[in-house]
Structure 1
C-alpha cells in the first residue's frame, strides 16, 4: 500500500533541510542561536493524514505538528501517539505518556506523531458495482464494463463532533481519460486535470451525503480517492434581496386589496341575503292570502248562484200572475241584496289588502333582484380562482351561486311585465266589485222604499219588469264573479311558482353568503400569510447563512485537549489505489518503515 504525503509534509522536510545540512558540518557557523531555557511559540497547526482501504475502512493515521516559534528552547506538546519523529532536525524527542518534549532551534518546528486508535470525525463507506452487480474491490482491477462508485459519508460517533459540525469535506476522484469514458456525476463537478478527469464532491458541515459516479471503463485501474477537510470558516455575505422583497411587498399589498374586496362582497351578499329572506317571508304571507281568497271563492259562487236562482224564480212567479205571488217574500229582498252587497264588500276589501301586499312584495322583489350584481366573470377569471389557494369546494359554491343569480335576474327580466300588470288587474277587479256592491245597496234601498210607499197590487207590473231586469243584470254579475274567482285561482297557481322561485333565490343567496364567508376567511388567511413574506424570506436567508457560516468556530486540537494556541487543524485522507499486482508489490515495499534520510533522499528522485 502506497501513502504519499501531501505538499504540507514535503514542505516540512524541505524547511528542515538547511538545518540538517548545517548540523552535519563542523560547528564553524554562528548563525544558529543556541537553545537556552524554555522556548515559546505563537501558534500551532495540525495536519492529520489518514489512509483508508478502497472500501473506506480506516487503516493508518498520523499527525504532522507545526509550531511557529517565538523563543528558541524547550517546549511541550501533548498527544496519545504510539511513536513520534522529529521532522525538523536530528534532535531527539522525549515522550512520556501523552507528553512530548522537544527543543526548538528554528522558527518553524515540525514533528510527526503516529496514532493507532484515533477515530476520524467522518465515516466513509465506498461501494463498487460493475454492470449492475456489487463487486469485490480486488476483483475490479483490469475489468471492463459499466462502473458505478457510491460514496456515503456520515458522522463517526466515536470521532470528535466539533469537526463534523464545522468542517467542509471535499472528495476528489481522479480518472485516467484513456480508461474511463462517459463519466457522469449528478451531484459532483467534473473537470480536466491534464490527461485525467477529476470529479469533486462537497459535503457541508453537519451533513451526511451520498454520491455516485458512473463511467464506462476499460482495463480498470484507479488512483486513490482523496478527501480533504478544512474549516468552513468563510463568512457568507447575505445576498441583495431588495428587489425580491419589493415584489413580495407588492404581492402582499395585492392580496390585502383582494381580501378587502372580498370582505366588501361578503357584506353586500349578506345584505342581499337578508333582503331575499324578508322578501320570502312577505311572499309567504301573500300566498297564504291568495289561498284563503281562492278557498272562499267556492262559497261566494255558490251563494251568488242561489241569489240568481231566487231572482229568476221570483221573476217567473210575478209573471205568472198576482194571485200566485207570495208578496210576503218581497220584504225579504232588500235584506238579501244588502247581504250580497256586504259579501262583495268583504271581497273588495280582501282584494284591496291583496293589492297592497302584492305591491309591497313586488317592490321588495324588484329591489332585491336589482341588487344582485351583474358582473360578467370570464372563464379565464374563474380558472384563475381555481388555481389560487382558495378552497375548491368553496369556489364551486361561489360559481354555482353566481350562475344561479344570473339565471334569476334573467327569468325576472322576462316575466317582469306580467308581475307589473297584476296591481292594475287587482285594482280593476276591486273597482268592479265595489260598483256591484253599491248597485245592490241602491236596489235594496229603492225596493224597500217602493214596498213601503206603493200599493202592491198596483205596482206588480212595475215590480215584474224590475225583477226581470234585475235577474238579467244579475246573470251578468254572476258571470263576472265566476270569471273573477277563476282568475284568483289561476293567480294562486301562478304565484305558487313565483313563491317557489323566491324560495330558491333565498336558498341561493344564503349559500352564496356562506361561500363568500369561507372565501373571505381564505383570503384573510392568504393576506395574513403574504403580509409576512418579506420578513419570512429574510429569516430563511439568515437561517441558511447561519447554517453554513462557521466563521465563529475556534479551532481545537485533534490529538489532545491539553494543547493550546491551535491555529488550524486540517485533514488529508486517501484510500488505497486500485492497481495491478506489480504496482501493488512496489507499493508494498514502499510501506516499509523508512528513516528520515530515506525520506529526504526521495525528495530528489
Structure 2
C-alpha cells in the first residue's frame, strides 16, 4: 500500500511539473478563441459537441467552427448553420466557402455530422445492486452506483484520437445525495453541489465509479471534455533528465540498501548459528553439571559413611591400645614375680647342696625308712632344681614376651596416632568436600541459568534471518517499484504530445489545420419532466372525468 502511494505521488508530481492542460475545460467555443487567439498559419478553432444517450452511446454530433481570414473550411456535414451572419455558404463536396469578407472576432458556423468519436463511453446505473435505466432513477431512493468506462475508439482515425485526454465531470445535488464516494477521482463540494472529476490519460482506458445514498433523486447532465494533453513546461528535457537522474540515484540507493541488508542477514545467520551451537553446548554442559552434582552427592554420602567408620575404628583402636598397654604392664609384673621366685629357688637350690649330699648318703642306708626318706628328699631337691630351671626358662620367655608386648604396644600407639590423624584429616576432608560440592552446585545452577537464558535468546533470534529476508523482499519490491514508477512516468509522459504539435481536425483531419480542437460531450440530465399549463389542464380534466364516472357507478 505504501509503495502504491509512493508511485502515485511520484506520478502526480511528475504530471504537475511536466504537464499543462488548459486552465479550464471550457463549455463553449469562446474559450478556444481566448486561449488560442489567431496563431499564424492557422485558419480556425474547432469545438465538437456530442449529445450522448444515457448509456453513453452517441445520439448526435455537431461541430462549431470559428473561421479566420478566408472563410473556407472542410467537412462533411448533413446541415450547416451560419451563427455570425446571414450569408449562406457554398458547399462543393467537403469544401465549405462563406462569401463574407470580414467578420469581427471570426465567423462562427455550426455543422451537424456523423462520425466516430476518439473515445467510447459505457454508462451503467445500479440501484440497490440491481441494474436500472437512467430514466427510472428520477425521484428514486436507495444506494446508487454510477459507472462510466472510457476506452479508445479504434474506429476513429488514429491521428484524431492521438494525445487526447478526457475529463469526466459528474455533479450531485447534496440535497438528494449523501455518503458520496468516487475512488481515483477528486470530489469537491461547493454549496449544494458535489463536483466529481475523473481524468483519463491519452491512449488509456479508465472507469469512474461513483456511489451514493440517494432519495428523490435527480442529477445534472454528465459532462465529458476531450482535449489534447500537451507537455508545455519550459526546459522539459532538462526536467525529464533530472527525473531520470533522481530515479537512478534512488535505484542505486535501493540496491545499496538491499546489499547492506543482505550482508546483515548473512551476519545474523552466522550469529544465529553460533547462538545455536552455544545453546547446544550449554545444554550439554548443563546436563553434565547435573550428572556431576549427583555423582558428587553420592560420593559425599559415601565419604560420610567412610568417615563414620574411621571414627568408629579410632574408638575401637583406643580399646586395643589400652588392652595392649595393660598386657604389657601385667606381663612386666608377672615377669618380676617369676624372676623373684626363680631367684629364691636358685638360693634354695644352692643352700640344699649339703642336704642333697646327705640325702645321697642316706639313700644307701639299710634302713628302708631312711633310704625312702632320703630318696624323697632327693626327688624333691631334683624337682626344686627342675622348677628353678623351668622358672628361669619361663622368666626368660616371659621377659621376651613382655619386651615384645611393650614393643607391640609402642608400635600400635603409632598406628593409633596415625589413625587419629586419619580421622582428623577425614573431618577436614569432609568439610572441604562440602564446600566443593556447594561450589559445584552453584556452578551447575549458573550453567543451568545460562543455558536457559541462551536458549531463550536463541529462540528469540533464530527467526531474525527469515524476518530480515522478508525485509529484503520488501526492499526488492520497493526497488522494483521505483523502477516501475520511473517507467510509468516515462510511459505517461510519452502519452502526451509536445505543445507545438498541431491539433488534428475532427471534421476533416487531412485538410483542416485548426489552431485548437476540443470536444464537449453531454448526457441527458436525470430530472422530472416539466409539464406545460395545457398538459396540466388536460390531466385535471381527465381526473375529473374519471371521478365523475366513478361516482356514476354508485348512483
Question: TM-score w.r.t. structure 1 length?
Answer: 0.46
- The structure number with the bigger radius of gyration is 2
TM-score between both structures, scaled by the size of structure 2: 0.49
